[in-house]
A and B are shown apart, each in its own frame.
Chain A
Amino acid sequence: MRVPVEWLAEYADPGLPVSALEERLTMTGTKVEAVHHHGVDGLDRFVVGRVLEAARHPDADRLTVCSVDVGDGGPQQIVCGAPNVAAGQTVAVARPGAVMPDGATLGVAKLRGVESNGMILAEDELGIGTDHAGIIVLDDEELAPGTPLQGVLPIATDVLELEVTPNRPDCLGVYGVAREVHAATGAPLQPPPWAEDPGTPGPIAGVEVRVEASDLCPRFTARVFEDVKIGPSPAWLKARLMAAGQRPINNVVDITNYTMLLAGNPVHAFDLDRVAGGRLVVRRAREGEQITTLDDQVRRLDAEMLVIEDDAGPTSVAGIMGGERSEVHEGTTRVLMEVANWDGPNIHRTSQLLGLRSEASGRFEKGLAPEQAMEAQVVATRLMLELTGARLAPGTIDVGGEGPPPAVIRLRERRVAEILGRAIPRARQAEILRALQFGVEEADEGLDVAVPAFRRNDVYREADLIEEVARIDGLEKLPATLPARRGSAGRLTTHQRLRRRAVDALVGRGLYETFGWSFTEPGIADRLRLPDDDPRRRFVVLENPMSEDQSVLRTTLVGSLLDAARHNAARGTPDLALFESANVYRDTGERLPHEERSLGAILTGRLHPPSWGTAEPPRAGFFAAKALLGAALDAVRVRWEVEASTEPFLHPGRTARVLAGGEEVGWIGELHPLVARHWDLDHGAALFEIDLDRALGHADAVPRYVDLTSFPALRLDLAFTLPGDVPAATVLQTVRDAAGTLLADVRVFDLYHGAQVGEGRKSLALALSFRAPDRTLTDEDVAPLRDHIVAAVRDGLGGELRA
């Protein structure tokens, strides 16, 4: 909402520098987004002039050399290019030093060799109109040359650009803002421009209005003007429209716009001679009914949309856009001025469904008060009579009338202090509410407050009154206190701390954390080779995505990790270790989709940069990914293991499912070459992804103490040759089962394939440690266990102890 300060001051002049007004409005809830300067600057250089002589320029047919009386310093020679300049005219003159609306400073110029000491002005040069065909001729001959132009034409004003919150459609008019200025600054508020109505009630001869959808059209008013002369608006009105951001068109159209900007309610002018039958009907459209709107689009309506029709059919989509047939035009002489109130939700719906927004729909959908319709009708009436030479036909059509009488709300004095944390005396509360045009009566414990119509939708409870009092009194007066915090101890839960610990382990191992988009494209399922029944195809699908590429929610972090890898690889960083911890989403048919916190990582290229000591660093592969996942899970003491497995997007021989506490929580593997190709990762990648929250469910968050220091462990290494296809995990399990409770730990420390161990066989070297809780173990204690183990590996797995 753009509000010219010059216009605002007609109704409430705070007498403050604009910066102080800006501050006060902002701090009382009407945020000033910006202050623009509209028009010219260097105001003392703009004066009234009288053209004394006007002669053809010696070297240019279209230029006139004028001698202009500008008050002091004798007549000035000014070269003018306008065709309408003539001796005897009273004109607007810019003298050297004037600053034009575009910021340029006017100097003494030579036009085709003739010196010009200024400029005779056209409207558009002042920013007060669009006319450039000729100069402004001031028709007031009383004006003395040298009179400051600012007093004659509104050639300069500051313009407030206001952020009007959706609850305050009353501030979409200059007078509404004036009411706020009054309450915020104490500036006297002038009576509203609709205070005196030149109109009369009763029917209008030859005009009929029927509202068949009164539920969606609470009020419809109309007046008729005869002998209208279409022409330009006066300069002051055009200047205000321009400053407010509207282009002047002609007096009648300008009046509808000016009225809307002043009173808030949109106004529509019909050429009554083109309203077939002189009858307007407001009705619901027929399902599928078509209408051509002013923008030349054919619109297809449904049965909840409203049209205004005359005897020849629909002319407008009600409250949103008129039709061409009955628009006012240059030859219009009879105008029907329509000012109505429409149901906000319905206008909103129609506007949405048709994809048709207008200044009018934007206002109606916020819910204007029915009272505003007649206020605007009165303003328009006064302007029509004043500016178009029109005659007001007797009568006023008013279907629906005013809204319900004012609600009265009790405002308890103590409640203000209870909510705000600062007491505001009852007298001050009353003063503020009265300034905001509320009716105020003393009552038990507080005030009885009557809400004006224009605030009816926004203020209907005590809490709303408290806000009004608080914002005008000044929130800057509130102390800064802290809540009492009964029984509340702020902390992260154990689970939240474990999450941090797990991902921190990866950061500690040199990984970079990434943030991927939740959105992805459905085609990723094919690129990841997911079969039709894969749950990761059960996307949450968006009805209105930004684009097809972002039309579903990701079911896995893999795509985001691959995207991040490709992005960096393409920018010269092929060695990458990245992870992300974020939600993935799956449509399960339940009320809400399944969401789980996933932790995924990708490794590509070398595990660290080549260095002076390590020319050929190891490259990322399955075991690097497994070690990193182990770092994360071990950090939070999750007991985990893996089993050979497959995933459609992973190398079939290098994939494992991850089990935490026996429960499957994710996978590790090397990227399938066909998938790698899609992301230009020619050298492959290793990844893992787990359901972090499920894995953390198996974390030993509060470990119990075990005495590992009183008695030393006894260590033993054993190496076996085994059939090549026996997994290490099976060997370890066989050892554990055979060794019994004294075995504290067993792990693989060497793997060997080669001629020494025979074709198809391998050698695994195991480090075992034994421990008893109550004594130091001896070789004699362990010898029988060793024999058990050797026998179990031999009998169960075909393994031979190596000498």
Chain B
Amino acid sequence: MIERIDSLRAEAESAIATAESTPALEELRVRYLGRKAELPNLLRGVAELPPEERGSVGRAANQARQALEQLIEQRTEELEAGELDARLAADRIDVTLPGEPPQPVGRQHPLTATWRELEDVFTGLGFMVVEGPEVETVHYNFDALNHGPTHPARDRSDTFYVADGRGRREGGDQLVLRTHTSPMQIRAMEAHPPPLYVIIPGRTYRRDQIDATHSPAFLQVEGLAVDEDITLADLKGTLLAFARGIFGEERDVRLRPHFFPFTEPSVEVDVSCFQCGGTGYLRDGSRCNLCKGEGWIEVLGAGEVDPNVYGYIDDDRYDPEKVQGFAWGMGIERIAMLKHGVTDLRLFYENDLRFLGQFG
């Protein structure tokens, strides 16, 4: 009897070891351990054996059954793992197909991107951002900014005037499309006592025929800092930080004397050319086309706030003997053009997706 058990066990072990699939294994389980199989029947028949054999036969049969069950389980796991591998290997996709469903990528307009970059640089330098009306009075756009009565910027050839159907606006009350963001210097000072640190981004308008570098509508960022002791050297440091923030850490700035009605001293500010490193020449020895060989690129106008301007603020805390400050104005398109190598300003307003898709 024991021999029979051993031979059944050996036979089954060999069959399990060589089974090639889980269905085949299931078949073996039924054959050797199923209800009608010999081994369980042997176990069930132990009771009918002579008492002296019952113990050893029962033990042997039980051990054989447990061993086989364990083997089957083990072999099942092995086969299942292999079968999963095979199934996964067959379940292959072309990973190079595009993502699905498509997720179109939106784009911020390059002018918005530059606008925000400027806001971020200057808020980091301690400035708040304020905005103001684009349709402005002559008072704020010219008079209070110390423009003489015949300043050419007031000409109808240069500035858009709002038609006055009601015919009751004269002098400083006439409306224009602001020619710069500077009127908000006055409005900001009227609204806030010193110290005042603000930048003013926004749309501005001049009667220029549109071409690669001019447009009747464009964007500016104004800056104004008024405190007890703001010097021209502070302007230089602030704009140096701007130049490095926008155009790179190696940049330098230079101030050139100039004239603006609402600053004194007035300067134009150049940034060292970031294409040729300020040398005026490219590596191949040719003249730098960005700065035209000058090594410097003009980016903005600035200066110390003209004392006359404070005279237009109805607040004696803005006394030019007590406070002083600086102001600047720069064109956002120009900064964006320099930064991205855009050669024609009109592209910004055409809204052609082939252009817009390259930025933002």
Contacts and interface: CB of A to CB of B under 8 A. Distances in A.
B205 A518 contact: yes
A399 B188 CA distance: 48
Contacts of B354: 571
A68 B74 CA distance: 119
A384 B356 CA distance: 65
Interface stretch (A4-12, A206-214, A509-517, A643-651): A509-517
B98 to A, nearest CB: 6
Contacts of A481: 231, 233-234, 236-237
B145 interface: no
B109 A514 contact: yes
Interface stretch (A81-89, A342-350, A662-670, A775-783): A342-350
A421 interface: yes
B135 A585 contact: yes
A332 interface: no
Contacts of B101: 608, 611, 613-614, 617
B137 interface: yes
Given A421-B234, A475-B257, A507-B108, A583 B203 contact: yes
Contacts of B197: 483, 485, 488, 490
A500 interface: yes
Given A419-B324, A463-B306, A490-B197, A476 B254 contact: yes
B135 A510 contact: no
Tell me whether chain B's interface is mostly helix, strand or loop, or mixed: mixed
B82 interface: no
B138 interface: no
Which residue of B106, B116, B165 has the most chain A CB atoms within 10 A of its CB atom? B106
A546 B157 CA distance: 10
A543 B205 CA distance: 14
Contacts, number: 268
Interface in A404-424: 418-422
A483 B230 contact: yes
A482 B237 contact: yes
A620 B231 CA distance: 56
A493 B119 CA distance: 12
Contacts of A483: 126, 197, 225, 227, 230, 234, 237-238
A26 interface: yes
Given A479-B236, A486-B195, A519 B165 contact: no
Interface in A465-490: 466-467, 470-471, 475-476, 478-490
Contacts of B265: 419-420, 463, 466-467, 470-471
A166 interface: yes
A512 B135 contact: no
Contact of A518 (B203, B209, B229): B203
Interface in A496-539: 496, 500, 503-504, 506-519
B337 interface: no
Contact of B162 (A28, A487, A540): A540
Contacts of B253: 480
B150 A365 contact: yes
B240 interface: yes
A553 interface: yes
Interface stretch (B38-46, B62-70, B344-352): B344-352
B171 interface: no
A543 B257 contact: no
A608 B102 CA distance: 7
Interface string A577-600: 110001101000001110100000
A54 B339 CA distance: 65
A592 B137 contact: yes
B225 to A, nearest CB: 6
Contacts of A352: 155-157
Given A166-B151, A490-B125, A543-B156, A471 B100 contact: no
B222 interface: no
B257 A29 contact: yes
Contacts of A496: 129
Given A419-B231, A482-B241, A553 B135 contact: yes
B162 to A, nearest CB: 6
B102 to A, nearest CB: 5
B207 interface: yes
A490 B128 contact: yes
A489 B126 contact: yes
A612 B103 CA distance: 14
Interface string A537-577: 00011111110001001000000000110011001010011
Contacts of A190: none
B160 A542 contact: yes
Contacts of B225: 483
Given A419-B304, A496-B129, A592-B135, A512 B353 contact: yes
Interface in B152-208: 152, 155-157, 160-165, 173, 175, 177, 195, 197, 203, 205, 207
Given A543-B156, A595-B135, 18 more contacts: A29-B258, A352-B157, A418-B231, A421-B234, A467-B257, A483-B227, A483-B238, A488-B128, A513-B108, A514-B109, A515-B109, A542-B161, A543-B164, A553-B135, A567-B352, A577-B106, A595-B133, A611-B100
17 contacts: A31-B258, A419-B265, A463-B264, A463-B307, A475-B256, A475-B267, A479-B236, A480-B233, A482-B238, A483-B227, A488-B195, A492-B119, A493-B128, A513-B112, A544-B207, A577-B104, A609-B102
Q: Which 3 A-B pairs have the closest CB atoms?
A: A421-B233, A421-B231, A29-B257
